[in-house]
Chains A and B, each alone.
Chain A
Amino acid sequence: MNSTIDLQKVAAIIDGYGCRREALIAIMQDIQAEYKYLSEETLELIAEKLDISIAKVYSVATFYENFSLEAKGKYIIKVCNGTACHVRKSQPIFDALHDYLGLTGEKKTSADGLFTLETVACLGACSLAPAMTVNDEVFAKMSPESAIDLINVLREKEAGANG
């Protein structure tokens, strides 16, 4: 979980695919798995090594919602918005977190760089609705209050780790 992207490592990932153009998406997925997002320098390097235009790489990267061009927080929160969670009021949970983290408009990551808030179509955990995940750990039967409590617990943990 590095926050800065090591371009040499990125180059190694691209080389691992033999710099093949058709592997563009797979390459971007692997890099994102490593660093959680794709930086401008990363995309430039991909374009250079695959010999395709940077505009084309950017085009593919922005086409898929799954690729993120912005650095993500340490904790990625995904609030489930599938049918079961939705009818059990997942939206108020999302809204509460959104406000509590001070997010506006396109901004998905909190100012302290700790949390990124996203929605997900269905976690496949409908019996636990409304559900959410924090870095792939599932939290069941949430409410706006319990979600904010969770944020506070994580923040304290971080403060403890740094202090």
Chain B
Amino acid sequence: MAKGFMIIDGQRVAFDGEKNVLSVIRKAGIDIPTFCYYSDLSVYGACRMCVVEDDKGKIDTSCSMEPRDGMVIRTNSARLLKHRRMILELLLASHNCDCKTCMKTHCHLRELAQQFNIINIRFQDTRPHFELDDSGYAVVRDPNKCILCGDCVRVCEEMQGVGIIDWSRRGSKLQVMPAFDRKLAETKCVSCGQCAAVCPTGAITVRNEIGKAWRAIHDPSKRVVVQIAPAVRVAVGEAFGIPSGENVLDKLITALKLMGVDEVYDTNFAADFTTITEGNEFLERLKNGGPFPMFTSCCPAWVKYLENHDPKYLKNISTCKSPMEMFAAILREKYAEKDAADGRKTFHIAIMPCTAKKMEAARDEFKQDGQPDVDLVLTTREIIDMINENGIRLPELELESPDLPFGLGSGAAAIYGVTGGVAEAVVRHCLPDKSKNALRAIEFMGLRGQKGIREATVDVGGTELKLAVVNGLVNARRLLKDIDEGKAFYHLIEVMTCQGGCVGGAGQPRAVRETKKQRGDGLYNIDHSAMFKRAEKNPIVVQMLEEMGEHHAHELLHVNYVKE
């Protein structure tokens, strides 16, 4: 790694291992603008906003420039400013500037256009009008707002390994699209939504379903019941100036009640059901000798990935429903009587960090008589918009706890939202040693962390079990390849599609790796302060499982993704 000093705008700045000049400039306290630079993706150099000038007057992009000792650069010379303003003007000229009605809350193009004071666009938009693609469950694509930065193309290929959208044609006809300009619904898209998460403009946005939520809330014949996923509570505050990772579940509940929601529950409650049923399934498989590896089933984009790209592994997926769907199934059953008694129909909203959950809720497996168990999935960002729409100042709200009985969850349930959390919860359940020391040992066995693929071994009843934890579909793809070729073997593999796990979901506020880590740490803090750390210690869950009986619990909580 290179080390040394460089002169940035006359100021001496040390660098040590930064991979490009851009990072050194940002470290020096200058926020150099970019559209196409994303630290977790490959360097692309397309937007040309990050250009700098060296002491010989040569202009080049700082994102693709390696820091060298003694380098002298300027970031804000007259030529550079003119250059950036021209880029912005040209981008705006070929961009649908219907900002007033745009779905993008934080448009980077608009922010930079304002920052650089672009008030007059001298060029006409001569491009043809392209059709909007709202065929997908998770995202809506509006090619008229695309600025060709390629962030979505790279995240889809490099982070998720699916490469659904890519460049097509070239020059002035260059466009980002799925192959043959197909609709997203006709592709093998897994609905992870990361393209929308990185898109700097409104070209790819998360499907917005706020209208449906308001209609249900304002309908007196409906009882609106909400469940909130673990990862939401450590990210929702970010939009209101609360640090990432701080648990604001209690304030979020108050906000939802102020909006007119009738009952608010916690997805963590259902996650305890998942841990117990999935743990038992794992122990059962150990007894019966497989099939291994057993894959976790909480992540709908992962399930979709196997369906679309590698169906031979569908039989390896745990037959347990995801916590969201377990919650919904239990709620539907328990509230059927209540609905009949007071004549109000329960409308179930799930607040999720995830766009793929919108797709999961629409799956046939989770419908009864054509009616989905979850009526509506809202993302963290949608709920933020609703809070803002009602003028609610979240930080100033009083605290409220989730309603009972479905509001109680263990610490193991809270960490479902972070990579490694589901595996850890299952290990806690399966290990016969229930001591505090065992918990500490599990914490440090290698399941936690940020690496794309992590491994751990654990001794259960004399057999050494191999576990793997994966985040980012591209890593899952790699692991599957190794398993295909017989180079790797695991008993249990946890897969979360998004970087960092659900805390990095595309439904969350825009975030970089560090922010996602803070949110994950927030979930671990919730676990630390939880009254009980193990799913099987949840008194309500244990009691309900007993009441259900084994057969009925199986009916209610399991699903089979294998198509005959």
Taking Cβ atoms with an 8 Å cutoff, the residues of A that contact B are 40, 43, 52-59, 62-63
Contacts and interface: CB of A to CB of B under 8 A. Distances in A.
Contacts of A54: 179
A53 B166 contact: yes
B169 A55 contact: no
A69 B169 CA distance: 12
A56 B163 contact: yes
5 nearest CB pairs, A to B = A53-B163, A55-B166, A58-B179, A54-B179, A59-B166
Contacts of A55: 163-166, 177-179, 187
A53 B180 contact: no
A64 B433 CA distance: 63
Contacts of B179: 43, 53-55, 57-59
B170 interface: yes
B163 A52 contact: yes
Contact of B168 (A40, A53, A59): A59
B162 interface: yes
A40 B182 CA distance: 12
Task: State which size class the interface on B falls in.
Answer: 10 to 19
**Which of B164, B167, B177 has the most chain A CB atoms closer than 10 A to its own CB?**
B167
Nearest to A40: B180
B157 interface: yes
Contacts of A59: 166-168, 179
Contacts of B180: 40, 58
Interface of B: 157, 162-170, 177-180, 187
Contacts of B178: 55
B168 A58 contact: yes
B300 to A, nearest CB: 21
A62 B168 contact: yes
A35 to B, nearest CB: 18
Contacts of A57: 179
Contacts of A40: 180
A58 B170 contact: no
A52 B162 CA distance: 9
A6 to B, nearest CB: 21
Nearest to B481: A51
Output the residue of A54, A55, A59 with the most chain B CB within 10 A: A55
B164 A53 contact: yes
B169 A53 contact: no
Nearest to B164: A55
Contacts of A58: 166, 168, 179-180
Name, among B162, B169, B170, B179, the residue most crowded by chain A CB atoms within 10 Å (CB to CB).
Answer: B179
A63 B173 CA distance: 10
Contacts of A53: 157, 162-164, 166, 179
A62 B162 contact: no
A57 B168 CA distance: 10
B473 to A, nearest CB: 12
A70 to B, nearest CB: 12
Contacts of A43: 179
A145 B240 CA distance: 74
B511 to A, nearest CB: 26
Given A55-B187, A62-B170, 20 more contacts: A53-B162, A53-B163, A53-B179, A54-B179, A55-B163, A55-B164, A55-B165, A55-B177, A55-B178, A55-B179, A56-B166, A57-B179, A58-B166, A58-B180, A59-B166, A59-B168, A59-B179, A62-B168, A62-B169, A63-B169
Contacts of B169: 62-63
Nearest to A69: B180
14 contacts: A40-B180, A43-B179, A52-B163, A53-B162, A53-B163, A53-B179, A54-B179, A55-B163, A55-B177, A55-B179, A58-B180, A59-B166, A59-B168, A63-B169
A89 B166 CA distance: 40
A64 to B, nearest CB: 9
A76 B201 CA distance: 43
